[in-house]
């Protein structure tokens, strides 16, 4: 719903967001009031101690003040429970109640000061119990006041005061075109600056140069554009996500059509090819995981890693010229050695250097597979996050292959950095001088997987036999023409409902519209949605059947937005309101659709509980298409399915299962022969 407007500005909180925090404060205030009432009743007539007169007045006024606050909170919670997310009409009196509640903070603050003065007065000679209770009351008052101030800061919208930009279509049509253009430019400029300040604040701990400043502006523009056409507060998004998750689970529990099941039955030739690629992927995923260095090693071996790494730190290491960047105490290199099982002499080059668009990587000889492996690290620092979020598109022109194709800008710059190091610094020449008969394999996970894919495209002409394994790469990476081209030499591996593999600007736009649609058409109050959603996520159960305005509508009507949806999408925030009058439901996409690289192996859980606590997990794998990843799926595992240890576990499980099957078949054949 539109953000609450009080004190002449919009806030990042809805009028239906006071139910749960208000009920909690109401519970605390009731206990508090009962305790003070009991204290007053017990000591009534015994306030003759020095300072007792002030104590009597303090308790009496505090009881009246708490009673007034309890009444105001009760009314606030009751009104906030009315209506639905897209129907705030029954809550129209809430701003007045909110003003009343905030006004009561003034006497509460004054009385908290009076109580603090009384407690600290050395001349007071009343019972110790009474003094302790008053001290607890004073502390509780200050805690509530401080938390209220923190809450106000959190829900403060820096753009909420731009009331002059909150123009209806009729008003905007009366503006001169030059005035409206200037007004729109000012709104966009202000919003971009606000986002840029937020990003700078988050990245305050890193050294900032020109590249960072350009990235900040680009990312701020991206966020401003994405959030500019809706008026949803954070709790609306949370409610929308939990509704989408339950709706998605209901659809998944429906039996599949026979044709849908048959289409996933691969031929034996395709199955054999899949088994080979899964075995290779399980092997090379070790290199992709090792690129993370000591954080990954300690994460996967929390009890023994530090002891083992401390034992390695003083051992002999390769010459400093082979390693660039900081590796204090040899922890990174020691972790890479332990994860990969390689020797010191097997490493050609290791770079721990990390800046925006410049990510760590290493080049090593893999004698088991007779390959020169280039392993690129995934996201592990603020600089990497900035590289991820530099999601503008840029052209990538390939000689003798394609006229041009679109690619992710930040990841392409990271790939170009590694390309320059490999070619200009002669790293690959050195590797092939040592092992001329070996093939080139490029691997990476997450950001590293995307970078490895674009790096493979750049090196393809020079090394026609190269292979690339991209584990959980970002979804918005390559245009359709480039994605089809890479199917000859890149294999992407995706586990379950991995968010990052589905993360692209068109998919994010689709998710935004799905959230708006489902929250706008749900006929339940937000607090009920959130409470049931929390229970469902933690304890499971059946998805709730929330009635919606979509129930009973014919199929043709479902293609058009409802009035509530149009309200949330078009009648949007004063801070982000644009001056166009058209609906964004029918507007053309702002971003080109980008795809995953290469052929895609999708690994899913075959038999396990939907909850995190599942212990016995079996996986199945199949070749997939880009259509499977054209929508973001909401799940508790959408983040964990992306983690490198989960990907490695799934690949090892499938590889081990395949080896067991081959062993069983061999024994069966030998028995038949005998």
CA distance 375 to 379: 13
Task: State the Cα–Cα distance between residues 318 and 325, nearest whole angstrom.
Answer: 14
DSSP 218-271: HHHHHHHHHTTT----HHHHHHHHHHHHHHHHHHHHSPPPHHHHHTT---HHHH
Find tokens 């760590």 and name the residue: 360
DSSP state of 3: P
Out of 157, 327, 366, 498, the active site residue is 498
Burial 503-523 (b: 16+ CB within 10 A, else e): bbbbbbbbbbbbbbbbbbbbe
Taking the C-alpha atoms of residue 638 and residue 634, their distance in angstroms, rounded to an integer, is: 7
Residue 387: name the closest of 396, 378, 395 by CA. 378
d(CA 315, CA 565): 64
For this structure, is 446 an active site residue? yes
Cα of first residue to Cα of last residue in the chain, in angstroms, is 75
Question: Pick from 64, 55, 62, 63: which is nearest to 127 by CA?
Answer: 55
What does the alpha-carbon distance between residue 498 and residue 253 come to, in Å, rounded to a whole number? 19
Task: Judge whether 86 counts as a catalytic residue.
Answer: no
Q: How far apart are CA 564 and CA 232, in angstroms?
A: 12
Going by their DSSP bridges, the two strands 599-607 and 361-366 should be labelled as unpaired
Going by C-beta distance under 8 Å and a sequence separation of 6 or more, which residues neighbour residue 256?
A: none
Distance, CA of 173 to CA of 156 (rounded, Å): 31
Question: Regarding beta strands 402-408 and 393-398, do their DSSP bridges make them parallel or antiparallel, or are they unpaired?
Answer: antiparallel
CA 544/CA 325 separation, integer angstroms: 53
Residues 6+ apart with CB under 8 A from 478: 405, 406, 407, 408, 453, 454, 486, 594, 595, 596, 597
Q: Which residues are CB-contacts of 292 (< 8 A; sequence separation ≥ 6)?
A: 377, 378, 380, 445, 644
Q: Which of 80, 86, 180, 446 is catalytic?
A: 446
Residue 215, judged by CB atoms within 10 A of its CB (0-12, 13-18, 19+), counts as: buried
Residue 7 φ/ψ region, left for φ over 0, alpha for ψ in the -120 to 50 degree band, beta for the rest:
left
DSSP strand pairing (361-366 vs 347-351): antiparallel
Contact 220, 192 (CB under 8 A): yes
Shortest CA distance to 591 belongs to which of 376, 433, 389, 406?
A: 406
Quick check: 631 and 248 in contact, CB under 8 A?
A: no
Q: What is the total residue count of the chain?
A: 674
User: Which strands make up the sheet holding 467-471, listed edge to edge?
Assistant: 323-324, 347-351, 361-366, 371-376, 439-445, 467-471, 490-495, 599-607, 618-624
Q: State whether residue 94 is helix, strand or coil.
A: helix
CA dihedral 190, 192, 197, 202 (to 10 degrees): 150
> Does residue 138 contact residue 115 with C-beta atoms inside 8 Å?
yes
Residue 336: alpha-carbon gap to chain centroid: 28
Q: Let me know: does 396 contact 406? Beta carbons within 8 Å.
A: yes
C-alpha distances in Å from residue 104, one per residue of 98, 101, 289: 10, 5, 56
Catalytic positions are: 446, 498
């Amino acid at each position: 719903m539109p953000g609450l407007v009080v004190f002449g500005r919009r806030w990042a909180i809805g009028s239906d967001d006071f139910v749960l925090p208000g009920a909690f404060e109401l519970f605390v205030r009731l206990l508090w009031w009962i305790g003070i009432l009991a204290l007053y009743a017990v000591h009534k007539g015994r306030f003759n101690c020095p300072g007792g007169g002030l104590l009597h007045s303090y308790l009496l006024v505090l009881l009246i003040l708490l009673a007034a606050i309890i009444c105001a909170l009760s009314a606030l919670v009751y009104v906030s429970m009315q209506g639905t997310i897209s129907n705030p009409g029954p809550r129209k009196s809430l701003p007045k109640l909110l003003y009343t509640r905030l006004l009561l903070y003034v006497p509460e603050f004054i009385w908290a000061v009076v109580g603090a003065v009384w407690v600290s007065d050395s001349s007071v000679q009343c019972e110790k119990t009474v003094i302790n209770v008053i001290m607890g009351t004073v502390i509780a008052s200050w805690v509530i006041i401080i938390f209220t101030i923190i809450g106000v800061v959190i829900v403060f919208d820096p753009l909420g005061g731009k009331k002059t930009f909150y123009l209806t279509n009729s008003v905007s049509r009366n503006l001169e075109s030059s005035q409206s253009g200037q007004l729109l430019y000012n709104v966009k400029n202000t919003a971009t600056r606000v986002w840029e300040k937020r990003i700078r604040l988050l990245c305050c701990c890193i050294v900032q140069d020109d590249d960072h400043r350009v990235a900040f502006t680009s990312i701020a523009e991206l966020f401003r554009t994405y959030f500019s056409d809706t008026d949803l507060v954070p709790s609306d998004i949370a409610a929308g996500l939990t509704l989408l998750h339950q709706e998605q689970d209901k659809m998944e529990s429906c039996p599949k059509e026979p044709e849908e099941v048959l289409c996933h039955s691969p031929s034996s030739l395709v199955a054999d090819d899949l088994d080979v690629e899964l075995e290779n992927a399980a092997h090379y995923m070790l290199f992709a995981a090792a690129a993370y260095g000591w954080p990954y090693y300690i994460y996967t071996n929390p009890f023994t890693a530090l002891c083992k790494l401390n034992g390695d730190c003083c051992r002999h290491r390769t010459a400093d010229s082979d390693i660039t960047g900081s590796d204090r105490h040899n922890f990174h290199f020691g972790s890479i050695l332990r994860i990969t099982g390689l020797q010191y002499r097997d490493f050609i080059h290791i770079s721990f250097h990390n800046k925006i668009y410049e990510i760590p990587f290493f080049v090593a000889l893999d004698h088991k597979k007779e390959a020169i492996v280039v392993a690129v690290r995934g996201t592990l620092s603020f600089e990497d996050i900035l590289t991820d979020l530099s999601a503008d598109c840029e052209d990538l022109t390939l000689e003798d292959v394609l006229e041009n194709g679109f690619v992710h800008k930040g990841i392409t710059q990271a790939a170009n950095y590694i390309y320059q190091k490999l070619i200009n610094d002669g790293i690959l020449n050195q590797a092939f001088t040592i092992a001329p008969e070996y093939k080139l394999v490029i691997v990476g996970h997450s950001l590293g997987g995307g970078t490895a894919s674009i790096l493979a495209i750049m090196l393809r002409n020079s090394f026609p036999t190269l292979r690339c394994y991209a584990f959980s790469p970002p979804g918005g990476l390559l245009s359709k023409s480039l994605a089809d081209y890479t199917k000859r030499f890149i294999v992407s591996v995706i586990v379950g409902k991995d968010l990052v593999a589905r993360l692209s600007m068109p998919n994010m736009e689709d998710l935004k519209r799905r959230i708006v649609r489902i929250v706008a058409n749900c006929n339940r109050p937000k607090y009920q949605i959130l409470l049931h959603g929390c229970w469902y996520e933690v304890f499971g159960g059946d998805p709730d059947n929330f009635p919606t305005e979509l129930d009973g509508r014919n199929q043709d009507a479902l293609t058009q937005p409802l009035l509530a949806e149009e309200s949330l999408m078009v009648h949007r925030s004063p801070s982000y309101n644009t001056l166009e009058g058209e609906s964004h439901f029918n507007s053309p996409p702002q971003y080109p659709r980008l795809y995953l690289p290469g052929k895609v192996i999708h690994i899913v859980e075959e038999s396990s509980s939907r909850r995190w606590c599942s212990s016995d997990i079996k996986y199945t794998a199949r070749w997939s298409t880009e259509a499977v990843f054209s929508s973001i799926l909401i799940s508790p595992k959408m983040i964990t399915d992306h983690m490198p240890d989960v990907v490695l576990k799934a690949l090892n499980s499938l590889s081990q299962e395949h080896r067991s099957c081959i062993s069983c078949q061999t024994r069966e054949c030998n028995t038949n022969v005998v």
